[in-house]
Amino acid sequence: MRKSLSILLMSIIFLSGIILAQDGRPQYKISNERAGVYIGDIIIELFPYVAPLHVANFDSLVSISFYDSTAWHRVVPNFVIQGGDPNSKHGPRNTWGEGDSTQATVPAEFSKVSHLKGILGAARDTDINSATSQFYINTVNNTGLDGRYTAYGIVIGGMDVVHDIENSPRDGNDNPHEKIEMFITKIGINESIPDVPQLIAPADGFVGFQSNTDLVWGKVEEAVLTFLEVAHDSNFSNLAYADSFAVTTGNTSIKYPGVEFGQVKYFWRVRSNNGAKFSDYSETRGFTSSIQAPTLIAPENTATNISTSPLLEWNPVEGAVSYRLQIAHTLPSFTESRIVFDESGITEPQKQIENLAADTRHYWRVLGEAEEYDGPYSNTWLFTTEQATSVNDDSPKPDDFFLFQNYPNPFNPESIIKIQIAERTNTVLKIFDITGREVQTLLNESIEPGVYEINFDASDLTSGIYYYRLETDSYNQTRKMILLK
C-alpha cells in the first residue's frame, strides 16, 4: 500500500514540480495559535528549482489542508523549530514527531543552499530518503546541517513569531507545554528574478592565476545560490569547470581547483538563483594561469652521501625570467626559522651551494619568477649530505619507537613534534581536528632510525583541540595538543 502511495505521490510531485519551477517561488502563510490564541503569521517561500520534489510535496499537502491543526512539536533554542507531524493533531504527545508510517517518503534533494537563519528544511530519520510532511525552520545559522538535510524554503516574514515559538516553555523532549498549532494557506507566487552578481576579483586580464588565487563575487541579497562557469573560450562552449555555491553572509570567494599551469587563457562568469529563477550572467572576465612549477632534476629525490657543496639543477620554465631556491634542513617546513638557504633572482636553472651541514637531511624546492609574479613552487625533494669524516658514527640508535608530547603546548601558531624511530620504516605523521578530519600531513616517507623534530605551523587553523598521529609499519601512537590564538 505504501509503495502505491509513493508512486502516486511521485507522479503528482513530478507534474506539480514542473509547474512550480516555471512560475517562481510559491508563497505560504503559516498562522499560529498557542492554546487557541493567535500569536502571529510566518510567511515562507519555497525553492522549486533547488528541491522540486519537496516543494511539490509540501504544496500538495497544503492543498488538502493537511497541516492545519498540526503542532510545532519540537522547539530547540538556538537551533530549530519543527512541526508538521499528523500525530500532533489528535494523537498522544509521546507520539508527536514519530510520524505516520503510511506516509509516502520524499527522496533527499541535497544542494549547496546553506542552512542559515530562516531557511526551511525537511525533517527525517536516519534514512536520508525518509522525509515526509515534517519540516523545520532554522532559528540561527546551522551550517552543520549542510549536505545532510534538504533545504527547500525560506522565511521572508514573521521571524519574530519563529523566535516566540522557539522560546516557548518546553518539556524534556523539547515539546512546548502549551500546544502551538499551525494553519497553512498558499497566498501567491514570487516571480521576481534575482540581481546579477558583481564580479570583484581578479580584475579582467589578470595574469599569474594559481590554485590559491581567489575568484570573488558579491552577495546577491535575494539569491540562495550562485553558479560559476570557467571556460577556455569567451562563448563558454568549452567549459573547464562549473559548480554552484551557497549565498551566505558576505562575498563568495572560491579557488578554482582545476587550473592548468603554463600561461593558459580562461574566461569566467557567474549568475545567481533565488531558488526558482536565474539572473542574467555577470560580465565575462578573463585570466591567464601562472607559469608552470619547475621540475627538479638533481640531486635525485632521497639521494644520500651528497656533497656539502652540491650543484642543484631543475628544468627551465617557459615564461620564467629567474628562479627562487629554498633549502631547509628539518622535516619539510619552509618557515623563516627553518630555512638555511633562500635566494631569488637566479638566472640559470641550477645553483652551486656551498658549505651545507654534513650528514644532514636537506629539503629543497624552486619556483619560477615571471616579470609580474612568482609561479608555484616545485615538489619538495630531499637529499642527505655526506659525513664530515670517514669515521663511522657510533652514536647509539634508538631502541624503540616513540611519539613525544609536542612543545610548547598550548601553542600559537607553531609547535615542535618530536618522534623517535627505531628502524628504517615507512613513517606517516598526520594532524586531525577534534572531529577526526585530517587537516595536514607533516610526514609521509621512509626514514632512517633516529630522533626527529618536525615543525607544525597552524597559522591557517582556528583555535581548538587537535590530535597528531604517528604511524609506522609496526607502531602507532596518537597525542592531543591545544592551539590557542
Domain boundary among 358, 385, 412: 385
Per the structure, the count of domains in the chain is: 4
In sign, the C-alpha dihedral spanning 273, 274, 277, 282 is negative
Examine the domain organization and report whether 112 and 149 are in the same domain: yes
Domain interval for residue 424: 402-483
Alpha carbons 191 and 277: distance in angstroms, whole number? 8
Q: Is residue 334 part of a domain?
A: yes
The answer to whether 383 and 302 have CB atoms below 8 angstroms apart is yes
Which pTM does this prediction carry? 0.72
Q: Is residue 390 part of a domain?
A: no
Q: Is residue 397 part of a domain?
A: no
Examine the domain organization and report whether 316 and 338 are in the same domain: yes
Q: Is residue 394 part of a domain?
A: no
Examine the domain organization and report whether 133 and 163 are in the same domain: yes
Examine the domain organization and report whether 285 and 300 are in the same domain: no
Q: Is residue 391 part of a domain?
A: no
Strands (E), 321-463: 322-328, 339-346, 350-352, 361-369, 374-377, 381-385, 402-403, 414-421, 425-433, 438-447, 450-457
Where does residue 88 rank: exposed (0-12), middle (13-18), buried (19+ CB within 10 A)? buried
Examine the domain organization and report whether 377 and 458 are in the same domain: no
Alpha carbons 182 and 62: distance in angstroms, whole number? 11
Q: Is residue 396 part of a domain?
A: no
Examine the domain organization and report whether 19 and 132 are in the same domain: yes
What's 370's domain CATH number?
2.60.40.10
Q: Which pLDDT score is estimated for 107?
A: 97
Examine the domain organization and report whether 21 and 101 are in the same domain: yes
Domain boundary among 289, 324, 357: 289
Examine the domain organization and report whether 43 and 104 are in the same domain: yes
Domain boundary among 227, 259, 289: 289
Q: Which pLDDT score is estimated for 6?
A: 45
Q: Is residue 71 part of a domain?
A: yes
What's 416's domain CATH number?
2.60.40.1930
Examine the domain organization and report whether 17 and 61 are in the same domain: yes
- Give, for all 485 residues of the chain, the pLDDT tens digit: 344 444 444 444 444 444 444 579 999 999 999 999 999 999 999 999 999 999 999 999 999 999 999 999 999 999 999 999 999 999 999 999 999 989 999 999 999 999 999 999 999 999 999 999 999 999 999 999 999 999 999 999 999 999 999 999 999 999 999 999 999 999 999 999 999 999 999 999 999 999 999 999 999 999 999 999 999 999 999 999 999 999 988 999 999 988 999 999 999 999 999 999 999 999 999 999 999 999 999 999 999 989 988 999 999 999 999 999 999 986 667 888 789 999 999 999 999 998 888 888 899 999 999 999 999 999 999 999 987 643 344 556 788 899 999 989 999 998 999 999 999 999 999 999 999 999 999 999 888 888 888 889 898 899 999 999 999 999 999 999 999 98
What's 19's domain CATH number?
2.40.100.10
Examine the domain organization and report whether 128 and 249 are in the same domain: no
Q: Which pLDDT score is estimated for 184?
A: 98
Examine the domain organization and report whether 130 and 12 are in the same domain: yes
Examine the domain organization and report whether 112 and 10 are in the same domain: yes
The closest of 156, 148, 151, 141 to 120, measured between CA atoms, is 151
